[in-house]
Amino acid sequence: MKIKSFLIFGLIIGVVSLFALYPRQIEDPIEKEAVILKSVVNILERAHFKPKDINDDFSKKVYQSYLDLLDGGKRFLIQADVDKLKPYEKQIDDEILATKLNFFNASLDIINAAQSRVKSFYKEILAKPMTFNEKETISYDFDKMPYAKNEKELYARWEKILKANVLDEIVQVQNGQENDSLKVDKSEIKSFATIEKEAREKVLKDYDRLFERMEKLRREDRFSDYINSITEQFDPHTSYFSPNDKEDFDIGMSGRLEGIGARLQADGEYTKVSEIVVGGPAWKEKNLEAGDVIMKVAQEGQPAIDIRGMRLDDVVSKIRGKKGTKVILTVKKVSGTMQNITITRDEVLMDESFAKSVIIGQEGVLENIGYIYLPKFYADFDNNKGRFSFTDVAKEVEKLKKANVNGIILDLRNNPGGSLNDVVKMAGLFIEQGPIVQVKSRENEPYVMNDEDKNYAYDGPMVVLVNHQSASASEILAAALQDYKRAVIIGGTSTYGKGTVQRFVDLDRTVSVANNLKPLGQLKLTIQKYYRINGGSTQLEGVTPDIVLPDAFNYIKIGERENKSAMEWTKIAPARYTQNVFVINNMDDIKAKSKKRVETNPLFKAIDENAHRIKEQSDKKIYTLELDSYKKDMNSRKEQTKKFNALFKEIPGLSVENIPEDAKLIQRDSANIARNQTFIKNIKKDVYIEEAMQVIKDLQTDRMSLTDKKRQIEEKN
């Protein structure tokens, strides 16, 4: 397996090395875009799993995709603007092959002018009082909506857009007043005129911030969109990452960064601290607090830089830095005082990104069940002491084994995937050894990725929880355990349906250019498809759980199949596989028992009814702008949601306890205690976990019955 993985990497490096055909010095920095475009297209043509013909049909798709990225809501461009771009519709393929950017350059001039035009619209519209007694409607069906014919029609469209925003603010304030009518003095109740005026002022501030952000968009931001309108025609998961985007991706994948440990947010022209990461440098230093506004940033020994009006990603890049270096922040405290705060950068771990476990039980059902929550398949390859999801889950399993748990529930809900190698190793915790997934490259026969370790960590009953957002690596693990009949998979109608494998290619290694143009960024490239060991694919179809439960998204279109450029479903020959650690041979009985429980559970009935409501709401594209009707509609939805949420109370008899060695760590600080309390509280309300416990009980009971039968047969013999 390792050899073949190495060969794939070698193939890519070998391919991209063929592209180093540019001169070593490029005078004009704008030529950097041409270098990126040429390199990306060459890699796509030579190394993508299923390359596309770059022709007129391809050009039309790129054209439409890029227009959607420029103005998907059709709020800025008018038909005359689109007409100026229309001649390029069938020329983009020629420009791509000739490494020209005429279409892209033209689009920048047009969208910038369009946004400037609209900036005068919203200020003028919001300066006048609005009425909401006419039977007007607004449509959000952007696919069917035409571009405005002219500026007059666009202005009228913005009148409706802003009217809808103001209307929503008015209804919120009115509802608040009505709910507090018994607590507030009547003289303090605002008139409609006052509410309407304050709503317009609020919306004006919101749009001022929106346009401030749009004005900070750089050419390189738009260029990333343009490149990705090309890459997405190959498949939805092939995409270009600018250097900043790649850094953010790596942080998300590893759960680790080097910096000060503070989350920031844009607040107008300022940057505000939104959260301090527990255990990070800022948390240890104690002076920086949530709510502080950062005014200036200085590196040790250098003058401070005023960051007012600076883009958030630029501010972040100045604050992040190598472990051991110092950064000085000039902040305005919530109290209004100014303070210089020096923080020594260090490694910051995002604890909420990592696996964790607790012991759960329910009186009268089954006690002492292990529950493992895995938010993603993380892997930190760039750090010798980095964390990997496989090793962390193995540790959690070991802790649960020491606690003599009667079963394990592995929660992969909303897990987007991650490291393929970690999936293979993790599956090996629950079987002796054998194939886990089949992987096929573009022109090669499929090869099998095996768990090579004959040992296993756990041999008891097991349930895996999934949902519509469980994707990629999550689907591999769920599919393997399902095919081996090792675990019961529980979830909605299907998982996400992503059956492709990506690798990053560093564009700096594909061309030989002057250093002042680097870094060029990286291309996340689909190079393989993976298949279940039974030969089927999770692509498009996902994994269908053994037990399908009511779910909020069971009736709406969601997942890989909704991507226009998604690859097709295919099938290959199955691998040979078997395991004897724990084999579920009575799945029909398990499913029948679960179905009976679910049908009599009022909460699952409510979830199904709510799923139908979500479907109706997602299908609705037209909304009223008449106050009474809008208010009635919104309040009806709000009341339905309130009644639905009220059903989720702590499940009687459900207990959740931290493993003793974890409890000691949690008690070290108040933030960890608060997060743990929220985690436990959510488990206690989770009806899916309750049903998973019932299934564990059924598995345990049936296993004991099978053992008794086997003993009886042996005694007779």
Going by C-alpha positions, the residue among 445, 450, 441 that lies closest to residue 576 is 450
| CA angle, 559 then 468 then 566, to 5° | 20
SS3 sequence of 383-450? CCCCCEHHHHHHHHHHHHHHCCCCCEEEECCCCCCECHHHHHHHHCCCCCCEEEEEEEECCCCCEEEE
Active site residue 608: no
Q: Which of 74, 246, 425, 498 is catalytic?
A: 498
Burial class (CB within 10 angstroms; exposed 0-12, middle 13-18, buried 19+) of 471? buried
Going by C-alpha positions, the residue among 575, 542, 566 that lies closest to residue 437 is 575
Check: CB of residue 645 under 8 Å from CB of residue 603.
Answer: no
For residue 682 the two structure tokens come to: 């959510």
Distances (CA, A) of 318 to 215, 274, 653: 21, 17, 51
Check: CB of residue 235 under 8 Å from CB of residue 526.
Answer: yes
Q: Which of 472, 474, 537, 594 is catalytic?
A: 472
What lies within 8 Å, CB to CB, of 560 at 6+ separation is 236, 471, 496, 497, 498, 499, 539, 540, 542, 566
Dist. CA 203–CA 142, nearest whole Å: 22
For residue 386 the two structure tokens come to: 């980095």
> How distant is the alpha carbon of residue 367 from its chain centre?
34
Distances (CA, A) of 259 to 343, 420, 481: 9, 28, 39
What lies within 8 Å, CB to CB, of 111 at 6+ separation is 70, 71, 76, 77, 222
Distances (CA, A) of 346 to 243, 296, 318, 331, 531: 21, 20, 15, 20, 41
650: left (phi over 0), alpha (psi -120 to 50) or beta: beta
Check: CB of residue 626 under 8 Å from CB of residue 132.
Answer: yes
Going by C-alpha positions, the residue among 501, 508, 524 that lies closest to residue 17 is 508
| Cα radius of gyration rounded to whole Å, the chain | 28
Dist. CA 429–CA 356, nearest whole Å: 16
Q: Which of 483, 546, 686, 698 is catalytic?
A: 483
Distances (CA, A) of 326 to 302, 303, 321: 11, 13, 8
Please provide the DSSP assignment of 166-229 as one string: HHHHHHHHHHHHHHTTTTS-GGGSPPHHHHHHHHHHHHHHHHHHHHHHHHT--HHHHHHHHHHH
What lies within 8 Å, CB to CB, of 678 at 6+ separation is none
Check: CB of residue 440 under 8 Å from CB of residue 464.
Answer: no
Distances (CA, A) of 442 to 47, 139, 252: 8, 44, 28
Sign of CA dihedral 110, 112, 115, 120: negative
Residue type, 201: E
Dist. CA 463–CA 692, nearest whole Å: 6
Check: CB of residue 378 under 8 Å from CB of residue 426.
Answer: no
Going by C-alpha positions, the residue among 169, 171, 153, 160 that lies closest to residue 205 is 169
Q: Which uninterrupted H or E stretch holds 360?
A: strand 356-362
Coil, strand or helix at 565: coil
Active site residue 472: yes
**What residues are annotated to the active site?**
472, 483, 498
